[in-house]
Structure 1
Amino acid sequence: MSKDHSVHSQRITDEFSERTLLARETVYSGRIWHVVHDSVQLSKDGVTIERDYIVHPGAVTVLVMDDEDRVLMVNQYRHPVGMRLWELPAGLLDVAGEPPVEAAKRELWEEADRTAEHWSILTDVFLSPGSSSEAVRIYLARGVKLVPEHLRHTRTEEEAEMIIQWVPLDDAVAQVLAGKIHNPTAVIGLLAAHAARLSNFSALRHPDEPFDVHPGLRNQ
């Protein structure tokens, strides 16, 4: 039976925990991500584990909120689940050397035809840490402006069918709790914004803070 080591006066926090990598093999190389097989020494007494997981470039997500507490959401087809999903503008960290906040600005322009004056970090998440290295930074963007039509990005494939809609934050949160919104970063971003609004977003971090929890960006 596990012991309760809780100390109510301390805040919980995830922390880095180095292990000795004994061997690594790439078992699948894909267009965007790869699958590797690692042999890892788990402890000093020599216990080792074998793990297959996805090596992912990571991503950024943008929760855009206007002065009426409406959130900009996009709707697009997602083939693996065979559904059109309501999501937040998002995209991969797949441009070498591009800071995460600049990637977020690019994705907002590409997917929603908008720019924003004010940026902050809502939260950082691992979407499936037991099977993937994918790390996602979710931003809050305020002071949004529509890009002139002649400067907009031309969307293709699934993005060509994308629908853009402003949704009251409270309504979106209600749809999350009703099980009607399923995209994980949309769910997390909406709930984080709802919580952050209680302190008028005063506790949010600077947009340029290093994304150190991202396995591919540590120590950069």
Structure 2
Amino acid sequence: MTIKDTPEEWEVRASETPFVGNKTSVRAEDVVMPGGSVARRDYQVHPGSVAVLALDDEDRVLVIRQYRHPVRHKLWEIPAGLLDVPGENPLHAAQRELYEEAHVKAEDWRVLTDVYTTPGGCDEAVRVFLARGLSEADGRRFEVEDEEADLELARVPVADLVRGVLAGELHNNCLVVGVLSLVAARNGAGLDALRPAEAPWPARPFEV
């Protein structure tokens, strides 16, 4: 048996969009089940996201602390953001987010992992990048607003983040997936064996 996710699409008898928000919407679809019955499935339609695990020369990860209203928490996270334009190159989006949220640039970019954050109720796909060779970005700092105006930045050793994840103290999915994927990659073929930064991403196709 090959353990690999595969694309598949079941018949949809009806589809409507009862809510359209600023960045996302909700879709309601009647889907034909294997036994022939029809079931309603509601899910959030999402443009997709990128996240950046930025690793410095002292084996520290650049993290930010940000208020997240739906969960009523300030979470430690890695820089991340939406794919604002359909078909946008995710590497370019990741470089933009690292600049805007941390005023940092990176020389070496790799794909760390690709995930669906909540496939039972949302079609969001996230590409998590590994960025190395960090330095301060050129030019003026990006002017932030709303929740981002309250951001805190820190650089935390990888080992401390792993401990926090396993202790149930850190909960942001991109941080958890990114940090544990980093450790797994190191223990496997190594970081230089990761996919190139512009590797294909079927979940959100883009032009190089």
- TM-score in terms of structure 1 length: 0.88
Cα deviation digits, residues 91-110 of structure 1 (max 9, x gap) = 00112342111100100011
Residue 121 of structure 1 corresponds to: 111
Contact kept, 8 Å, 2:89 with 2:206, in 1: the verdict is no
Residue 154 of structure 1 corresponds to: 143
Matches within 5 A, 1:27-66: 27-43=18-34, 46-66=36-56
Identity %: 46
Deviation at 1:11, TM superposition (A): 4.2
SS at match of 1:167: strand
Structural RMSD (CA):
1.9
- Higher Cα Rg, which structure: 1
Aligned residues: 207
Residue number among 149, 169, 173 corresponding to 2:162 in the alignment: 173
| Structure 2 CA distance for aligned equivalents of residues 141 and 127 of structure 1 | 21
Distance verdict in 2 for CA 1:142–1:218, change over 3 Å:
closer
- TM-score in terms of structure 2 length: 0.93
| Structure 1 CA distance for aligned equivalents of residues 97 and 19 of structure 2 | 28
| Structure 2 CA distance for aligned equivalents of residues 219 and 159 of structure 1 | 29
Matches within 5 A, 1:128-207: 128-148=118-138, 150-198=139-187, 199-207=189-197
| Structure 2 CA distance for aligned equivalents of residues 11 and 197 of structure 1 | 24
Deviation at 1:120, TM superposition (A): 0.6
Cα deviation digits, residues 157-205 of structure 1 (max 9, x gap) = 1111111111000111111111111111111111101111223313311
Contact kept, 8 Å, 1:71 with 1:169, in 2: the verdict is yes
Residue 76 of structure 1 corresponds to: 66
Residue 212 of structure 1 corresponds to: 202
Contact kept, 8 Å, 1:122 with 1:204, in 2: the verdict is yes
The one-letter code matched in structure 2 to 1:120 is R
Q: Does 1:107 align with 2:97?
A: yes
Matches within 5 A, 1:13-24: 13-24=4-15
SS at match of 1:143: strand
| Structure 2 CA distance for aligned equivalents of residues 55 and 181 of structure 1 | 26
Residue 3 of structure 1 corresponds to: none
| Structure 2 CA distance for aligned equivalents of residues 61 and 135 of structure 1 | 11
Cα deviation digits, residues 32-75 of structure 1 (max 9, x gap) = 111111112234x6333220110011100000001221111011
| Structure 2 CA distance for aligned equivalents of residues 18 and 158 of structure 1 | 37
Contact kept, 8 Å, 1:212 with 1:219, in 2: the verdict is no
Contact kept, 8 Å, 1:100 with 1:211, in 2: the verdict is no
